[in-house]
Amino acid sequence: MNESLLHLYELQKIDSQLDELIENRGELPQRVDDLRQMVLEQRARLQDADQHVAEVDKRSSEVHQEIIELREKVEKYKAQQFDVKTTREYDAITFQLEDGQKRLARHVDESARLGLELEQTRTEASSMKEDLLEMETDLAQQEVTLKSLMAETEEDEKQLLKKRAATLKLVRPNHIGMYDRVRPAKNGIAVVPVRNGVCGGCFNAIPRQLVLELKKGDKHAVCEYCGRIVVGEVISLAVDGEPQPMPAQVAHNEEEEESE
């Protein structure tokens, strides 16, 4: 029997168990990841919004101060109008007064606009903050659920990964290369035994001559229908101990592949 093929079949068994374990965790790990990402993005958005509020607030204060100064100037020009000695001086002061009044009016308009903008940006920022708090609460709850879910399977996963690493060392690189290519394309099942003359993956008949050649377990074949790595039943018996029921999942997936 080819030891590398034997361990390759073992690797398949371990990986199938790992796949099942991860599948049983459901969508929660992904959902928690997504939530974490959303919380980070929301924090960044809130930071931008807070910065915007601060900028508008600062500009608003500046305009407010400028209004106070312009009002003082306008009052000063008004007083000076009574103090002038010549028409020329009067015209000059009147020009400055009118200019000051125009600028004052523009500043008052801008102040009103900034007031509205400030209110709006503050409302936006505070609703963002509420959303963020809600998301953070949700995340914290989901993280607790995930933690207990992981605790149930974490040890199993650790053991399987350890076994996987040890098994991997016993498989020849060319077998691993083949396995890594086939597995993702075949829904995780890359190595199957030949059983009763059919491929354990797609149940199509394997040529009789090939079945005989696989019997001793010292070589493999590639199923001409599904492309999986087929090994003699002697290998699966050595690993499983006894004939395993044909996995229903494989049969089901095969139907899907045929309809592609």
Instruction: Give me the residues that bind Zn ion (CB under 5 A), please.
Output: 199, 201-202, 223, 225-226
User: Would you say 128 or 199 has its CB closer to Zn ion?
Assistant: 199
Helix (H, G, I), strand (E, B) or coil at 229: strand
Exposed/middle/buried for residue 228 (C-beta within 10 Å: 0-12, 13-18, 19+): buried
Distance CA 104, CA 74 (A): 9
Distance CA 191, CA 202 (A): 11
Asked if 219 and 212 touch (Cβ cutoff 8 Å), the reply is no
User: Would you say 210 or 223 has its CB closer to Zn ion?
Assistant: 223
Minimum Å gap between C-beta 146 and Zn ion is: 37
Minimum Å gap between C-beta 204 and Zn ion is: 5
Minimum Å gap between C-beta 170 and Zn ion is: 25
User: Would you say 112 or 251 has its CB closer to Zn ion?
Assistant: 251
Exposed/middle/buried for residue 183 (C-beta within 10 Å: 0-12, 13-18, 19+): buried
Q: What token pair was written down for 167? A: 């098994």
User: Would you say 93 or 226 has its CB closer to Zn ion?
Assistant: 226
Minimum Å gap between C-beta 177 and Zn ion is: 20
Beta bridge partners of 230: 192, 221
User: Would you say 35 or 233 has its CB closer to Zn ion?
Assistant: 233
Q: Which run of H or E residues covers position 250?
A: helix 248-259
- Distance from the Cα of residue 87 to its chain's centroid: 76
Minimum Å gap between C-beta 191 and Zn ion is: 11
